[in-house]
Structure 1
C-alpha cells in the first residue's frame, strides 16, 4: 500500500483498469467552477465519464447502498453510513463514513454491467480502506494529543479570519481517512510497524477498547514520519488573499506547541474558494509548508 498523499484533499481513484481521473470540465460559467468553502458540500463534483452512470446510480441507490454496506462488513468488519454516489467510467464510486468508535471516511467502487448494477463485485482501491482504519486508530491512540490540536484550531477559527471545510463535504466527496473540517491524517500499514499490531487487532476484534488498541501499538517502532497531519484552512472573506501573517503564526505555533501529536505536519492557508468539480482547495496563491519541508514534531 502506498502512503496517502499529504499535499491536497483531492481523492484519486485507482480502479482495476487504471486511473479514474477527473474528466474535462463541461463548458460552464467560470464563476460557477468555485464555491465558498463555507457553502461547498460536494455539489458539482464528478469523475471521469461519470455523467451517465450518475443516473444509473441514482436509480439503483437502495441496491448499491446494500451491496456496499455488505462489502465493508464482510471485508473490514466495519459498519458504514453511505453519504454519496458518484458515477465513474465503470460504475459508481460510493463515499462512506464508518459507524462506531473508530472514525474515518473512505469509498468503494461498484461496477455496472451496462445499465445493471453488478452484485458481489464491490471493491476498494488498494490500501485506501486500510489506511483509513489506521488513520482512525492513530486518532484513537493519541486521543488527548489530537484533542489539544482540535482545541487550538477551534480557537484559531473563532478568533481569526479563516474557516474550515463544511462537514457535509467530507462525507460526500472526501473519502480520505480521518478528516475534520480543519485537517486530515495520512498513515499507512505496510511500512508502519508501530500501528500494524493495532490494525491487526482491529481486523480480529473491531470492538476492542481504546486501551487495548493503545496496548497493541508498538511505540518503540514509531517515528514522526509514520503520522502525517495536514492542516487545511480557508480565508473567511470571499475575495481575501491567504494571510501570510496568520500562516506564519500557525506554523510557528505548531513548531513549538506542547501536547499535540508526534508527527509530521503540513500547513495550508487557501483563499476562500473550493473547486467544485474536484474538491480541491489548494491553488497557485495558497500559502503552504508541506513535504518535504513539513514541520517534524518528534
Structure 2
C-alpha cells in the first residue's frame, strides 16, 4: 500500500471502494484493520495463546524496565507478534514489545521477548518529562481542547492510541519522542535504579538537569472533523501561529500536521499528499 496516495484523486465507484477498504473516519477508528506485513498466520497463533503472550510481555517489562504494563492489543508480524502496551500509573506512556513465534510448531517463544532498540527507553523518557512538567502540559492540553472545540478539527480516539499507537506519552492531539541527548543527565538510568520515585521526587531531581529542546520532539496531529473536508489552511496557519506565541508550554521541537478526515486502517496513519505539514527544517522550537 502506498501511504502517500491522495484519496481525492480516485473517482467514482473506485473511490468509494478505496475509501471503504483502505480508510476509516478518524472518529470511528480504534485500530480495526491494523496489520503488519506477513502477520496473518502469526496473528492467529498469538490469539490462540493470548494468555501466554500477555504473561510473557508483562514479565519482560517488569524485569527489564521495572514497569508494570497493561496489554491492549496483539498484532501478528512475519516472525512473531507485536504487543501494544500502556504503562500503569506514572510515568505514563505507550509502547510495544515483540514476541517471537515458531510458525512450524505454532510455539510462542516466551523467553525471547524483545523491543526495538531505544523504543521503550524513549517512551519512558517521554513519560518522565510529562510527569515533571505536568503544569506546562496542562497548558498545552487546555489550549488544544479549546482549539478543537472552536474549530472543525478533531484528534484520534483514545482506543486507537492504546491499540496501535505505541508512541510514548500520547494524547488524542499529539505524541512525543525524546532523544537520550535531550537531558544533561541520564534520566533513564535514574528511573531504572529507582522506579518508585514519586512525582515530587522527580521534580526535585530534574531541577538541576538542563534540557535541550531540539532533542524533544512533540508532534501535533489534527484531522478535519467533516467527512469530505480538505485540510484547511486557515486552521493550520492559526494553530501554527498560536504554538509560536504560546507561553509556558513544554519545551521542545514542535511539528504540526493537519490531515483530512480519513486515517489508513492498516497503519493508523493520517499522512497523505493533501496533509498540511510544518516540520523539519521549520519546526517550532520552544
TM over 0.5: yes
Whether the 8 Å CA contact 1:194–1:217 is kept in 2: the answer is no
TM-score, length-normalised on structure 1?
0.87
Give 1:219 deviation, angstroms. Answer: 4.9
2:34 is matched with: 45
Q: 1:217 aligns to what SS in structure 2?
A: helix
2:200 is matched with: 211
2:165 is matched with: 174
Cα separation, partners in 2 of 1:220 and 1:57, compared to 1, 3 Å:
closer
Whether the 8 Å CA contact 1:201–1:213 is kept in 2: the answer is no
Cα separation, partners in 2 of 1:226 and 1:214, compared to 1, 3 Å:
farther
Whether the 8 Å CA contact 2:23–2:263 is kept in 1: the answer is yes
1:3 is matched with: none
Give 1:206 deviation, angstroms. Answer: 1.2
2:142 is matched with: 151
Count the aligned residue pairs.
269
1:193 is matched with: 183
Q: 2:35 aligns to what SS in structure 1?
A: coil
1:71-82 to 2 correspondences below 5 Å: 71-82=60-71
**Runs (5+) with no aligned partner, structure 1:** 1-7, 9-27
Residues 143-167 of structure 1 show CA distances to partners (whole Å, capped at 9, x for unaligned) of: 1110000000000111110000010
1:116 is matched with: 107
Q: 2:125 aligns with which of 129, 134, 142?
A: 134
Give 1:220 deviation, angstroms. Answer: 5.3
Whether 1:221 and 2:210 are equivalent positions in the alignment is: yes
Matches of 2:206 and 2:184 in 1, distance apart? 6
Matches of 2:242 and 2:208 in 1, distance apart? 25
Matches of 2:123 and 2:185 in 1, distance apart? 12
Q: 1:120 aligns to what SS in structure 2?
A: helix
Q: 1:259 aligns with which of 248, 261, 268?
A: 248
Of Structure 1 and Structure 2, which has the larger fraction of its residues in helix? 2
Whether the 8 Å CA contact 1:163–1:234 is kept in 2: the answer is yes
Residues 175-215 of structure 1 show CA distances to partners (whole Å, capped at 9, x for unaligned) of: 111110000111022x233352x322211111101122223
Give 1:218 deviation, angstroms. Answer: 6.2
Matches of 1:104 and 1:292 in 2, distance apart? 27
TM-score, length-normalised on structure 2?
0.91
Matches of 1:216 and 1:48 in 2, distance apart? 43
2:285 is matched with: 296
Q: 1:30 aligns with which of 5, 13, 18?
A: 18
Give 1:232 deviation, angstroms. Answer: 0.2
Cα separation, partners in 2 of 1:81 and 1:267, compared to 1, 3 Å:
same
**Runs (5+) with no aligned partner, structure 2:** 4-15
**Root-mean-square deviation over aligned CA pairs:** 1.5
Q: 2:266 aligns to what SS in structure 1?
A: coil
